[in-house]
Amino acid sequence: MLRTVELPLWLFLLIVVFAMVTFASHFLFPSVRWFFRRRLERAVARLNQRLQRPIQPFKLARRHDMIQRLIYDPQVGQAVQQHAHDEGIPEAVAFEQARRYAREIVPSFSAFAYFSFAIRLSRLLSNAFYNVHLSYKDESAIKDIDPEATVVFVMNHRSNMDYVLVTYLAAQQSALSYAVGEWARVWPLSRLIRAMGAYFIRRKSGSELYRQVLASYVRHATEAGVTQAMFPEGGLSLTGALGRPKLGLLKYIIDGTSPEGRDVVFVPVALNYDRVLEDTILTRAALGTDRRFRARIGVITSWVLKQIWRRLIGRYKRFGLAAVRYGEPISLKEFEARTEGDIMTDLARALMKRIGAAIPLVPGPAACWLLRENGPMPEPEVRSRILALMEADGLTLAEAEDAITSAVDHMVERRILTREDGVLNLSGQREDLLDYYADSVPEQVKPANAALAKDVSAPAGS
């Protein structure tokens, strides 16, 4: 027992390393994790005091625990058995496939990344690109939502800036959990998006097993009261107008409720822009049969460098107004009480109708719509009519006239409109962009003001 044993130096070092790893994994790491976990819990508790809707424990759970909870869900277990039977494979293989799907879907939310980085970045980008304006259809109805209800923000999808803009504007309410598509599954962007609490979905998946895993995750999040955000159109609008809703996520949310459980309140959120950053890409995609479009990295890099250069030489201009309006919320329990049969389709229509009714009128699209409907108009008349339309729509700005002037100038600079001898007219060069912006004008504005718009345009032809 007391004899000296000679060992090679490399073997001695290897034993020491293994001993250090064992000590750290059994004694040091758990203590360190406990220390930082306690600090995180205290920080989240302080954060929840200023949020209108506190961050739910489900959102803060470890990602590994959430994956385990998901794959051992009875609904997923039945789907695994059925998938194994249909494909003729062992259940263990189907189970591992479900595990891969769960790893792909489940986020790894970080309160630090969301509130210290994402919120600040979204505020910086939003105010750097746009003059941001927030309004409400019924502000009191938003504030009076049951604190225990699960809130789902339902938005029209105009631009990838939608994510940034709504994250910034909802910062005082809660941390949003977005459903994002395949475009974001690129490292290292995917790691950042997961840390912000977003979960990945496949827009088109022929696997019933995948759909059941996704449905199970959405159900767990809904039952736990996680504040969510979704785009019912399923993708960016290629025409500027509202698209038809997709029912997948909405079905999963409805299925995740029960009569004795918490209510789900859908909050319509309508967005509109004087300038959509991807408008040229979107209008080109609209000409094809495939909705998918790809922005080349070289084009994006060139555009970013161009904007940075303009800022450095003092010629940078923001892209006009970005307007966001909260519509009238819909309580799922109240909607179910007054609707017979399958409510999913009726609810989707009601949500899209309220989103459409809440879309704010912004000056750039208004100018395109007026001139497309009425032909050449004196510029002072165009400006006064846009101001009247915006006021009738409830969009009041302290510097509305400056915003209108800037939007009209921007449309002229991009050769969508022309200006000659004080008269504005269509350029005839960018008809795709003209229609894209004109079609984004809210439908409720058009019938009530069409006759007035034509009366205003009369002096142009006299």
Dihedral of CA atoms 333, 179, 234, 83 in degrees, nearest 10, equals: -90
pLDDT of residue 457: 41
Looking at 336, 358, 380, the residue that finishes a domain is: 358
State the Cα–Cα distance between residues 335 and 333, nearest whole angstrom.
5
Q: Which of 153, 331, 199 is nearest to 257 (CA)?
A: 331
Q: What does the alpha-carbon distance between residue 109 and residue 363 come to, in Å, rounded to a whole number?
A: 38
> Cα separation of 400 and 406, whole Å?
10
Higher pLDDT, 132 or 181: 132
Whether residue 93 lies inside any domain: the answer is no
Lowest mean pLDDT segment, chosen from 179-183, 316-320, 375-379: 179-183
Same-domain pairing of 261 and 386: no
On whether both 342 and 213 belong to a single domain, the answer is: yes
Statement to judge: residues 338 and 441 lie in one domain: no
User: Are residues 404 and 262 part of one domain?
Assistant: no
Cα angle, residue 169 at apex, residues 45 and 178 outer, rounded to 5° = 75
Percent of the chain with pLDDT over 90: 35
Residue type, 116: S
Query: What is the rounded distance in angstroms from the CA atom of residue 145 to the CA atom of residue 143?
Result: 6
Which residue in 399, 365, 394, 395 sits closest to 382, CA to CA? 365
Evaluate whether residue 152 is within a structural domain: yes
| Coil, helix or strand at residue 177 | strand
Q: Are residues 215 and 112 in the same domain?
A: yes
pLDDT-based confidence at residue 265 (cuts at 50, 70, 90)? very high
- For 173, counting Cβ atoms within 10 Å of its Cβ (0-12 exposed, 13-18 middle, 19+ buried), the class is middle
Average pLDDT, the chain: 82
Backbone angles phi, psi at 96, to 5 degrees: -65, -35
Say whether both 347 and 420 belong to one domain: no
- For the stretch 7-25, pLDDT in tens is 677 777 877 777 776 766 5
**Residue for token digits 């979905």?**
201
CATH number at residue 446: 1.10.10
Token match 């002096």: residue? 459
* Stretch 253-268: mean pLDDT: 89
**In whole angstroms, what is the distance from residue 15 CA to residue 19 CA?**
6
Mean pLDDT is lowest, of 10-14, 290-294, 373-377, for: 290-294
Do the beta carbons of residue 54 and residue 43 sit within 8 Å? no
Residue 434 maps to a domain: yes
Q: How far apart are CA 104 and CA 207, in angstroms?
A: 14
* Bigger pLDDT: 379 vs 292: 379
Q: Is it the case that residue 254 has pLDDT exceeding 60?
A: yes
Any domain includes 323: yes
Half-sphere exposure (CA, 13 Å, Cβ side) for 370?
36
For residues 366 and 386, what is the distance between their CA atoms, to the nearest angstrom? 6
Query: Per-residue confidence at 357, pLDDT binned at 50, 70, 90?
Result: very high
| Structural domains of the chain, count | 2
Say whether 236 sits in a helix, a strand or coil.
coil
What pLDDT score was predicted for residue 341? 76
> How large is the average pLDDT for residues 155-170?
88
Task: Characterize 147-166 residue by residue with b for buried, 16 or more Cβ atoms within 10 angstroms of its Cβ, and e for exposed.
Answer: eebbbbbbbbbbbebbbbbb
d(CA 162, CA 353): 19
336 falls within a domain: yes
Q: Residue range 272-284: average pLDDT?
A: 90
The answer on pLDDT for 300 being more than 70 is no
My answer on whether 208 and 168 are in the same domain is: yes
Whether the per-residue pLDDT at 352 is higher than 90: the answer is yes
| Residue 351 belongs to a domain | yes
pLDDT band at 139, cuts 50/70/90?
confident
Tokens of 97: 């496939």
Distances (CA, A) of 401 to 136, 299, 445: 21, 34, 19
Query: What pLDDT, on a 0 to 100 scale, did the predictor assign at position 26?
Result: 58
Q: Which residues contact 326 (CB under 8 A, 6 or more apart)?
A: 134, 135, 136, 137, 139, 142, 267, 268, 269, 358
DSSP 118: I
- pLDDT, tens digit, for every residue of 192-204? 677 777 888 877 7
Separation between Cα atoms, residue 330 and residue 199, nearest integer Å: 24
Q: Which helix (H) or strand (E) holds 314?
A: none
Measured CA to CA, the distance from residue 346 to residue 338 in angstroms comes to 11
Same domain, 136 and 258: yes
Say if pTM beats, i.e. exceeds, 0.85: no
**Residue 168 forms part of a structural domain:** yes
CATH of the domain at 141: 3.40.1130.10
**128-132, 191-195, 352-356, 388-392: range with lowest mean pLDDT:** 191-195
* Of 338, 358, 378, the domain-final residue: 358
Q: Decide which of 309, 332, 358 is a domain's last residue.
A: 358
> What dihedral angle (degrees, nearest 10) is formed by the CA atoms of 181, 185, 188, 193?
30
Residue 370: which domain range? 363-461
- Angle formed by the axes of helices 379-392 and 400-413, to 10°? 130
Which pLDDT score is estimated for 183? 60
317 vs 103: which has the higher pLDDT: 103
Contact 151, 265 (CB under 8 A): yes
Please compute, for residue 399, the number of CA atoms within 13 A of its CA located in the half-sphere on the CB side: 10
Angle of helix 91-105 relative to helix 208-223, nearest 10 degrees, comes to: 50
Is residue 186 located within the same domain as residue 260? yes
Together in a domain, 328 and 380: no
368 with 352, same domain: the answer is: no
pLDDT at 25: 58
Verify that 161 and 204 share a domain, yes or no. Answer: yes
Percent of the chain residues past pLDDT 70, beyond the cut:
82
Residue 249 in contact with residue 235, Cβ under 8 Å? no
pLDDT of residue 4 exceeding 80, the answer is no
d(CA 76, CA 70) in angstroms, rounded, equals 7
Residue 161 lies in a domain: yes
Mean pLDDT of 86-115: 88
* Lowest-pLDDT choice from 50-54, 200-204, 295-299: 295-299
Give CA–CA dist 407/275, Å, rounded. 9
Query: Rounded CA gap, 111 and 251, in Å?
Result: 28
